[in-house]
Structure 1
Amino acid sequence: MNAPNRFPRRDDRAAINLVTVDLEDWFHICEVEHVLPRRDWDGLPSTVVQDTEKLLEILQASQVRATFFVLGYVADKHPELVARIHRLGHEIGYHGWDHELIYRLAPTEFRHILSRGVECLASITGVRPVGFRAPQWSINDLNPWALEVLAEEGYLYDSSRIPLRFIGNESYPRQPHALHLSAGLLWEIPPLVLRTPWGNYPAGGGWGLRCLPYAMIRRQVNRLNGKQIPALFYFHPREVGPPRKIVGLPFIKRFVLEAGIWSTKDHLSRLLADFKFIPIREYLGIDQEKPSPWGLEPRHPIKEKAAKPCNTVRFH
C-alpha cells in the first residue's frame, strides 16, 4: 500500500488537530542507563496500565480518538492494553522496541526492530501499523537513512523529526510535509513548536507544553488552524500518573520529566474541549472505505489478521 500522494484540501473542514501518545512506562527514559539499566526493567513496578487508563478516560470524556505510538516492550508485556486501545478506536503506531535511540543503530538493526514491531502489533490488533515515532525524536541529520528504511519497510508516515535545536534541526519544516524518497513517498508529521527570538520552543508536549500558559497554546493553535494547518500534540502516560521521584537523574532529565507536571491534565482536557482532533492515519486518509472529509482519495485497506497475543510471535 502506498502513502497518499497529495495533501488534504485546504477548506474549512481542515481545521483539525492531532493528539498522540507515546505508550511507554515511567522508566523508559533515554540516556539514563546508569540510573535505570535495561536489565532492571522487568523487576521495576509498572504503572503504564493504570496511567494509560487515565489518559483514555480523558480522551473518552471528549470523544476524541488519538494516535498511540506503542513501544514494543509495552506491547509484549501488556498486549491486552494495546488491544483495548485499538478497540476504543484509537490508531496504533510504533515507537521502537526498547526505547532505543535510532541514530545509535545500524540500518540492519533498525530494519529488524521495525519488522519486529509490525509483527507484534499486528498480532494484537489485526492491523499493520503505518506510522512511526522514534524515541526522543532520534531521526535527524545524523541518520537520514532511517527515513528510507521506514519507507522500504512499508511505513507511510513518520513523526520523529522535530524542528528544534540540539535534538533536531530548526530548519526542518514546522508543518506536515511529504518526503520524496528513493523507496517512495513518506509523510513527515512534526510536533507543534513556537518561533521565538531565541529559537523554536517545544510547545507540542513535554515540559514545553506544560510550562506554557494555556492561552498561549490556544492562540497558536488558532493561528495554525486559520491556515488549515494541524497542530500535533504528544503526551506520555506517566504525565498523568502519580508523581515519581527517580533518584540519580541528571538535573536536565528531572526538569524534562517534572517541570509543570501538575498542568498536564488541565492542558490536555482544555485542548480536547476547544479543538477538533483525529488520528494521524485518518488525517492522511489512509485505508478509509469512504472518501476522507479532509480531501484525500480512499486507500485500499490492509488485509486484517486475526488478533493473537504478542508473546506468541517468534523472532529470529
Structure 2
Amino acid sequence: MTGRTNAMTVDVEDYFQVQAFAGCVRRDEWDAFPTRVEANTHRVLDLFAAARVRATFFTLGWVAQRHPALVRRIVAEGHELASHGWDHTRADSQTQAAFRADIRRTRAVLEDTGGVRVAGYRAATFSIGAGNLWAFPILLEEGYAYSSSINPIRHDLYGLPDAPRVPFRPVADGVPEIPMTTVRLFGRNWPCSGGGYFRLLPTGLYRAGLKRVNRRDRQPGIFYFHPWEIDPGQPRIAGAPLKSRLRHYTNLARMQGGLERLLRDFAWDRMDRVYAPVLSAAELVPA
C-alpha cells in the first residue's frame, strides 16, 4: 500500500439508465426493464464488508424510492449516502430551476429513507462544466457540502480539461468541487478514476497511475464504478450503437476480480472522510 487513503465511490444506477443507452432507452420505459441494481449493489456491499472498506454511494433518487431497504443497508454498514440526482438527467441539459428541483427532491428522498444527512453530489455523466457553473451555488443553497462532478479530461461526453486536478472552489459562493482523479503526463491529463477506463485498459495501468498520484502528487485518488459493472449476465439492450455496446459490455467478466485486487492493495474510505481536511479548510485552490 502507498500509505495514503483513497476514496472509493459507487454510482448507484441500473444497467438501462446509463448515458450510453440514452438514445435507445426512454425514461418512461424504465419500469418495463428487469431491475438488477438492488441485487448488484448488495453484491458490492458484500465485497466491501469482506474487505472492511467503507465507501460513498452516489445514489439515484429513482433507485432509492424503489429500493428503500438497500439505502438503509448502505447507511447501516457505515457507508456515506450521497446524491446522484433523480433519474440520471445530465445537469448541463437542465435549466437552473429544473436542476434545483432535481437535487432538492433527491436529497429529500435519500435523507428520509436513510435517516442521515446527505452532503455529497455527483452529476450524471460528470455533466458540470464551463457552461453550468451556476450549479455550485445552487448546491450550497440546497444544503449540499461538496460536489464530485468534474472530470478534468477530454472526452466526447464530458470533461473540463483545464480544471484543477485537486479540490477547488469553482465559484466563490458555491460548494467545493472534488474532481475525478487524473494523472498529468506529456502535458495533458489522463483518466485515473476507474469507470469504463478501468475495464477497457490493463488493470496494472490504473494501479500505476494511482500510485503516482499518491506518491508523486501526494494526493488521495478517487475510484468509481457502477453496480452493473460486476454483472456480466445483465440483459443486452436491443438496438444500442456499436460504440455504446463496446463501452458498456467490454470486460464486465473481469471487473469484480480487478476490484477485489484494488480493495486488497490500496487503502480506501468514504469521500467525506478522505477529504475532510480539505472540506474544512478556509481556502481552496481557485478555479
- What is the TM-score when the length of structure 1 is the normalising length? 0.81
Q: Which of 131, 137, 143 is residue 132 of structure 2 equivalent to?
A: 143
* Amino acid of the structure 1 residue aligned with 2:142: E
> 1:234 — aligned with what?
224
Matched-pair identity in %: 37
Offset, 1:94 = 0.2
**Cα distance, 1:83–1:178 mapped onto 2, change above 3 Å:** same
Offset, 1:242 = 3.2
State the distance in 1 between where 2:278 and 2:195 align: 31
State the distance in 2 between where 1:224 and 1:116 align: 36
Q: Which has the larger radius of gyration?
A: 1
* Amino acid of the structure 2 residue aligned with 1:232: I
CA RMSD of aligned residues (A): 2.2
- Contact persistence 1:207–1:258 (CA under 8 A): no
Q: Which has the higher helix share?
A: 2
Offset, 1:215 = 2.3
- Contact persistence 2:183–2:212 (CA under 8 A): no
State the distance in 2 between where 1:142 and 1:103 align: 7
- Contact persistence 1:64–1:272 (CA under 8 A): yes
**Cα distance, 1:31–1:222 mapped onto 2, change above 3 Å:** closer
Superposed, 1:145-164 pairs within 5 Å as: 145-164=134-153
* Amino acid of the structure 2 residue aligned with 1:230: P
2:90 corresponds to 1:96: no
Offset, 1:198 = 8.9
> 1:254 — aligned with what?
245
Number of residue equivalences = 276
2:95 corresponds to 1:106: yes
Q: Which of 21, 36, 40 is residue 47 of structure 1 equivalent to?
A: 36
2:156 corresponds to 1:193: no
Offset, 1:196 = 4.9
State the distance in 2 between where 1:296 and 1:157 align: 8
State the distance in 2 between where 1:181 and 1:152 align: 13
- Contact persistence 1:130–1:154 (CA under 8 A): yes
1:114-161 deviations in Å (ceiling 9; x for gaps): 111121111111112110001111111121111121122121110111
Offset, 1:197 = 4.6
Superposed, 1:1-316 pairs within 5 Å as: 15-30=4-19, 32-165=21-154, 166=156, 167-183=158-174, 186-197=175-186, 199-226=188-215, 227-244=217-234, 245-285=236-276
State the distance in 2 between where 1:139 and 1:296 align: 19
State the distance in 1 between where 2:7 and 2:184 align: 20
> 1:313 — aligned with what?
none
* Amino acid of the structure 2 residue aligned with 1:255: L
SS at match of 1:49: helix
**Cα distance, 1:255–1:142 mapped onto 2, change above 3 Å:** farther
- What is the TM-score when the length of structure 2 is the normalising length? 0.89
1:22-49 deviations in Å (ceiling 9; x for gaps): 0111111226444211111112110011
Query: Which sections of structure 2, spanning at least 5 residues, go unmatched?
Result: 282-287
Query: Which sections of structure 1, spanning at least 5 residues, go unmatched?
Result: 1-12, 286-293, 299-316
1:93-129 deviations in Å (ceiling 9; x for gaps): 0001011011111101111111111211111111121
State the distance in 1 between where 2:190 and 2:255 align: 17
State the distance in 2 between where 1:261 and 1:281 align: 29
- Contact persistence 2:133–2:171 (CA under 8 A): no
State the distance in 2 between where 1:178 and 1:267 align: 33
SS at match of 2:19: coil
- Contact persistence 1:202–1:209 (CA under 8 A): no
- Contact persistence 2:153–2:191 (CA under 8 A): yes
**Cα distance, 1:193–1:296 mapped onto 2, change above 3 Å:** closer
Offset, 1:243 = 3.1
**Cα distance, 1:63–1:114 mapped onto 2, change above 3 Å:** same
Offset, 1:296 = 7.8
Offset, 1:214 = 2.5
State the distance in 2 between where 1:33 and 1:219 align: 33
Offset, 1:176 = 2.5
State the distance in 2 between where 1:152 and 1:236 align: 28
State the distance in 1 between where 2:198 and 2:44 align: 16
